[in-house]
Amino acid sequence: MCDWCRLGCALCRIGFYKCCHQSAPARPEYAIVALGLDNGGKSTLLAILANEESSDVQPTQGFSIKALQFPDAILNVKELGGGVEQYWAHYYGGSQGIIFVVDSSDSSHLNEAAQSLAKVLRNSTLAGLPLLVLANKQDLSDAKDLVEITDILNLIEVARHYDWIIHGCSSENKNSIQEGFSKLINKLKSEEPIEDNRL
């Protein structure tokens, strides 16, 4: 075989290899801020999604950042500790979505959570962003259901300018957590906000 023929065959093989081994499309990345009162379970839920050991999780002091890998997106989640609520607003810049975690079983602090969420949603930096409210600890017998949580948090009113959804989850069921985050990803990727949310 002549040199030119061999060269042509080699180039064809290279082209065929490249066509068959194209790199997977880059997944979009989104900056998310995760908020909620102390002991709501934010750190535990994020640790589970990051495949970290969740039994030794301590409440976040200040803030932490985790890059959560999903098949169709990467969420860079900035978790802000409930004990530093007065400083939360300093970390809102650049956020593309909001996660607010509540302890569904802690009736004594749900009204406080409602006040906290209302304050968050009044901040112009976050205006109109996709919002996922995670009603955590749904496995507990005294947990409020999603309708009750929606009412206590006054979501229909305080989040009326947001593309929001409320989702029940539990640290005992990883799938329930993943489903909530998948719903948020769908909203982040949607070109147009969905008007009819919610439960």
In this prediction, residue 53 carries a pLDDT of: 80
Q: Is 43 annotated as a binding residue?
A: yes
Q: What is the pLDDT of residue 35?
A: 97
Residue 37 labeled ligand binder: yes
175 is in an annotated binding site: no
Q: Where are the domains of the chain?
A: 29-191
Strands 29-35 vs 97-103: parallel, antiparallel or unpaired:
parallel
Q: Which helix (H) or strand (E) holds 135?
A: strand 130-136
Query: DSSP assignment, residue 170?
Result: B
Instruction: Say whether 83 counts as a known binding-site residue.
Output: no
Q: What is d(CA 140, CA 133) in angstroms, rounded to the nearest whole number?
A: 18
Q: Is 150 labelled a binding residue?
A: no
The pTM of this model reads 0.83
Measured CA distances, 71 to 44, 125, 144, 181, 185 (Å): 21, 29, 31, 12, 10
The two three-digit tokens of residue 131, written as one number: 């919002």
> Reduced to 3 states, what is the DSSP secondary structure of residue 138?
coil
Please write the tens of the pLDDT for every residue from 53-90.
876 766 666 788 999 999 999 999 999 988 889 999 99
pLDDT value of residue 17:
47
Tens of pLDDT, residue by residue, the chain (199 residues): 555 555 444 445 555 545 544 555 688 999 999 999 999 999 999 999 999 887 676 666 678 899 999 999 999 999 998 888 999 999 999 999 999 999 999 999 999 999 999 999 999 999 999 999 999 999 999 999 999 999 999 999 999 999 999 999 999 999 999 999 999 999 999 854 444 455 5
Which CATH class, in words, describes the domain spanning 29-191? alpha beta
**Residue 18 known to bind ligand:** no
How many helices (H) and strands (E) would you count in the chain?
Answer: 6, 6
For 3-42, b/e burial (b = at least 16 CB within 10 A) is: eeeeeeeeeeeeeeeeeeeeeeeeeeebebbbbbbeebbb
**Alpha-carbon distances, residue 42 vs 3, 16, 101 (angstroms):** 65, 48, 6
The answer to the question of whether 136 is labelled as a binding residue is yes
C-alpha count within 13 angstroms, C-beta hemisphere, residue 150 = 14
